[in-house]
């Protein structure tokens, strides 16, 4: 039973590692360069899935399916909390 709980916790935790939060208004671009054409704009607090990296940019997927390249400087880590920490 304890082994199953540990495996479940690891699986849930690893899913969070591929997520990030947008820290400030950010423009997702069609390629990983500042001069690239804009794809869409994200608001602070939005959660995105990280798919790959290239020279200071992350290829992200929004929950609605849109994809684009976002400056890594505009992203923060998603905090993991146990049920005890949530209060």
pLDDT tens, residue by residue, 2-37:
444 444 444 444 445 699 999 999 999 999 999 999
DSSP per-residue codes, 11-28: HHHHHHTTEEEE-S-EEE
| Confidence (pTM) | 0.73
* 76 band by pLDDT with thresholds 50, 70 and 90: very high
Burial of 23 (0-12, 13-18, 19+ CB in 10 A): middle
pLDDT of residue 11: 47
With 70 as the cut, is the pLDDT of residue 85 above it? no
The structure tokens listed for 10 are 């690891």
Which backbone phi and psi does 31 adopt, to 5 degrees? Answer: -150, 165
Percentage of the chain lying above the pLDDT 90 cut: 67
């Amino acid at each position: 039973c304890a082994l199953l709980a540990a495996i479940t916790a690891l699986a849930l935790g690893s899913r969070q590692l591929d997520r990030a939060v947008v820290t400030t208004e950010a423009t997702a671009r069609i390629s990983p360069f500042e001069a690239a054409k804009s794809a869409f704009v994200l608001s602070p607090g939005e959660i995105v899935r990280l798919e790959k990296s290239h020279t200071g940019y992350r290829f992200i997927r929004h929950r609605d399916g849109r994809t684009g390249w976002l400056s890594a400087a505009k992203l923060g880590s998603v905090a993991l909390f146990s049920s005890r920490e949530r209060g």
